[in-house]
Chain A
Amino acid sequence: MNVFRIIFITALVFILCTPTVYSAEFDPNEDGLTELSLERLLEITVVSASRKSQSLADVTSAVFVITQEDIRRSGATTIPDLLRMVPGVQVASIDGNSWAISIRGFNGTFANKLLVMIDGRSVYTPLYGGVFWDVQDSLLENIERIEVIRGSGGTMWGANAVNGVINIITKNSQDTKGTFFSGLAGSNEKGTVGARYGSDIGENTSYRLFAKHVDRDSTYMTTGRAQDSTRLTRGGFRLDNAASSSLQLTLQGDMYGGTVGNTATIPTLSYPFSKTVNPSTDLLGGNFLSRLDWLQSESSKFSLQLYYDRTRRDTTFVKEDRDTVDIDLQHNLHFAKRHELTWGVGYRFLHDNTAGTQGVFTLTPDSRSDNLLNLFLQDEITLLPETIRLIIGTKFEHNDYTGWELQPSARVSWTPVRGYSVWAAVTRSVRTPTRSDQDVRINLAVIPPTPEIPLPSVPVMIGNRQLKSETLIAYELGFRADTSQNTSMDFSLFYNRYRNIMGSEQGIPYIEGGTQLTIPINYINLHNYQSGGGEMSLQWQPLEWWKLKGGYAYIRFYGSEVEDSRLSTGTPAHQATIRSMCSLGRDVDFDLWVRYVGNNRYPLITETVHIPAYTTMDARVAWRPADGVELSLIGQNLLEKRHIETVSDFTVMRHEVERSVYGKVAWTF
């Protein structure tokens, strides 16, 4: 109860202080502003009604922003492929429609230390803490930018933002007026088409509607052609209303449906004790989000967001229906000249109904409702104007699995000269147990009977309701330089100490039903790891028409049993990327993208698979023959016929990424 009281009192103190302090703030009237000289205007800080936004130079974490230009010129057709340009992010293709994606390690089929959001809506699944990347898509031309934060974002965003946050932000409908069509087809793309229309309603409201259909072929597997095609259709809308310059309302939603192919190897009790099947997964989902941003005064703004999200995944073995309702209020307040306080409160209701298959995958109970409550408080204190800032804050989060979780952080930023900044941070974040961690029962394999044991033995993964949260204390250091319009660089170093990372422990075997010997494998909080490493990203524009963007990342894990761990490996020590963007005149682009991913090992239950290093390259040529028309030709993974990126925990089949080519037409009018 003490915790409640402290939170309550703290919140109360801040709320009560509010009216008296911010009235002391300078409030320039309009006449005053126009009478100011240009020099003076250049010194005025901007506040906007949208959620707290900062320029990169002021951010005290390792942030990489994928801009719309990066998206267009990368030639990537999926969000996972776009993330390959971010140093410190591991992206590996599992098959034609699933990816293992993580930040700063712990990658794999069940990568679970990452928070992904689309316009403030959390899209990682509480089922296992990972992301179903096959359904995370939009018309890529609708995306304004993708912000990738490496390192803990727990204080701001809560549980699961352990190793990083990916925030996909779509454009305001004000910026997507007119009509847009795009179509692409190629060696693996059987025909992806997109359309968008945007316009105004009255003076203050704009909207857009869009639709997209993706049809992607099956990919190569070592045993022949896989059945991992993608057929997904989605459509959505966004409406933005700016009733006044201080009140903005956004309504948006989208729906999708379709089928993806998968491959699964499942254990069977009779010879040959496993079979590989190709279940197709039916996908259906939709969401609706509303957000109200209110600029109460120059120094105080509120943001209220409400969303509903529904997803359905229907595979042959598991059918999961999930509903999420989330409400979130945030208040940002400048007071006493040096403080920028942000506080928020949020509540999320989750309900799932997961029908599994006995002997393969079940959850007990098969339906469950969960509640998540969070309170968040952060103060950004200017210790020396425009030079030293201190940011302290914490999140208090209550979940039904482990109760209260505390995720504080302290960050400091020093800007000795304009354009250069050094920052350091210490943060604590947690990954709370997921629904599967608590309730799952998975038959991992069947070991054939032997003369000593006449029954088939079945190792069964069993969830544990006593699990504690995995915790991370992260120490980070960064340096950012924006030396001129044409060069910028960003370095970051980290040292992470993980505690209570989940592992498994074999229990006492017992005979079940007279037909099998069950070997229980229980989830427990087992490992303590450390990881260290760094990333850098560089941007250089030697000529007005030529841009180079590069990045490099290094990571290493330490700790007991780190070599055998299923979790800490699956991550290459070295990764590098370099992109060249050439504008040959006004109407022709020529872009190249080279990527190197170091070797790594992925430990499956049956064997440890060695994944060799690979270097590959994408190329794009685009030509704009007339206003609003762009034709482009893109080659992907050009340097070799095919390469393996990772393996799946679901199947013995091995998928490889092949060289591919596609052509694209885009037309705006």
Chain B
Amino acid sequence: MDFLVSNQHRFVWLTAIILFCSSLQGHADTSSGEFKLKAAFIFNFAKYVEWPNSSFSQQNEFCIATLGRSPLDKELAKLSGKIIQNRNVVFRQFNSIEETAQCQVLFISRSELGKQTSIADFFRNTPVLTLSDKNDFSKSGVMLSLVDENGKIVFDVNIQEMHHARLKPNPQLLRLARNIYGRPSNEVFKP
């Protein structure tokens, strides 16, 4: 037992020394709650996409909505009152897909994604930017998908779906995307 104790002593000291040494130098690492960060992404996306003018029925309103309940609701609701493309942001929460055609940005909760295989078909000619946070693009056909990777959030774009909906992505958005789907060759493209 003495042997063990002396080993433990050494271990504790070693730990203390390493802890001390490595805290001497710091670097600016930032971290955030997942949902806050995703909401910030969604807010930013809206700045990088161009909607056809006809899509704004309420001239002064920029509608961000969610379909189905998701933990993002609370964080997105906090965006209300901010300005995007010279319009006031309003937040709405919908439970059926038919109600959603009047909004500009729509986050589709995971449970809804599971239920609807026809989301892509429904929005095909409707200028609504559809988003999800599930890494399952080809099946659901949403336009932007937020994905956890290496403890950070990255995003994939489905350019074909955006094109169908007459939404124009800024080249900057495409440059920053992890993957772009729906190129004419129909192959996964790595920018």
Give A contacts to B, CB under 8 Å: 2-3, 6, 9-10, 13, 25-26, 28, 30, 33-34, 36-39, 41-48, 54-55, 57-58, 174-175, 177-178, 200, 203, 242, 244-246, 295, 298-299, 334, 336-339, 379, 381-383, 385, 390, 392, 394, 404, 406, 408, 418, 484-486, 541, 543-544, 583, 586, 627-628, 668-669
Contact = CB atoms under 8 A, between A and B. Distances in A.
Nearest to A21: B23
Contacts of B149: 55
10 contacts: A13-B16, A26-B31, A33-B40, A178-B114, A242-B71, A245-B74, A338-B29, A406-B7, A485-B190, A627-B117
Contact of B22 (A383, A543, A669): A383
B44 A38 contact: yes
Contacts of A178: 111, 114-115
Contact of B150 (A57, A245, A627): A57
Those 4 A-B pairs whose CB atoms lie nearest each other, nearest first:
A336-B23, A337-B26, A33-B40, A45-B31
B11 interface: yes
B189 to A, nearest CB: 9
Contacts, number: 184
Given A30-B36, A46-B31, A55-B149, 13 more contacts: A3-B4, A6-B8, A38-B172, A44-B31, A44-B152, A46-B32, A46-B33, A46-B37, A174-B110, A244-B74, A336-B26, A383-B22, A544-B138
A245 B32 CA distance: 12
A539 to B, nearest CB: 14
Count chain B CB atoms within 10 A of each CB in A6, A34, A385, A408 and give the residue with the most.
Answer: A34
A406 B8 CA distance: 9
A47 B33 contact: yes
A55 B154 CA distance: 13
A3 B138 CA distance: 56
A44 B32 contact: yes
B173 to A, nearest CB: 7
A651 B178 CA distance: 56
Given A42-B152, A54-B151, A544-B138, A334 B43 contact: no
Contacts of A2: 5
A334 B32 CA distance: 12
Given A41-B44, A47-B34, A544-B186, A34 B152 contact: no
Contacts of A392: 15, 18
A299 B29 CA distance: 11
B164 interface: no
A51 to B, nearest CB: 14
B101 interface: no
Given A6-B12, A44-B37, A298 B29 contact: no
Contact of A544 (B12, B114, B188): B188
Contacts of A6: 5, 8-9, 12
B87 to A, nearest CB: 16
Contacts of A13: 16
B118 to A, nearest CB: 7
A3 B8 contact: yes
A125 B43 CA distance: 51
Interface of B: 1, 4-5, 7-9, 11-12, 15-16, 18-19, 22-23, 25-37, 39-41, 43-45, 48, 69-71, 74-75, 78-79, 82, 110-111, 114-118, 138-139, 148-154, 172-173, 176, 178-179, 186-188, 190
A28 B32 contact: yes
A295 to B, nearest CB: 7
Contacts of A336: 19, 22-23, 26
Nearest to A626: B117
Given A3-B4, A34-B79, A178-B111, A43 B30 contact: yes
Count chain B CB atoms within 10 A of each CB in A13, A36, A246 and give the residue with the most.
Answer: A36
A9 B118 CA distance: 60
Given A3-B5, A38-B48, A298 B31 contact: yes
Contacts of B23: 336-339
A379 B15 contact: yes
Contacts of B118: 627
Contacts of A334: 31
A46 B26 contact: no
A245 B4 contact: no
A298 B33 contact: yes
Nearest to A543: B187
A246 B152 contact: no
B153 A44 contact: yes
A385 B28 CA distance: 10
A642 to B, nearest CB: 38
Given A28-B30, A41-B41, A46-B148, A544 B15 contact: no
A43 B41 CA distance: 12
Contact of B187 (A48, A381, A544): A544
A30 B69 contact: no
A245 B33 contact: yes
Contact of A34 (B4, B15, B40): B40
Nearest to B75: A245
Contacts of A34: 39-40, 43-44, 79, 82
A255 B43 CA distance: 45
Count chain A CB atoms within 10 A of each CB in B26, B39, B75, B150 and give the residue with the most.
Answer: B150
A379 B75 CA distance: 32
Count chain B CB atoms within 10 A of each CB in A38, A39, A383, A394 and give the residue with the most.
Answer: A38
A42 B176 contact: yes
A336 B4 CA distance: 31
A586 B139 contact: yes
Contact of B37 (A3, A25, A41, A174): A41
A131 B101 CA distance: 53
Contacts of B187: 543-544
A406 B5 CA distance: 10
A45 B152 contact: yes
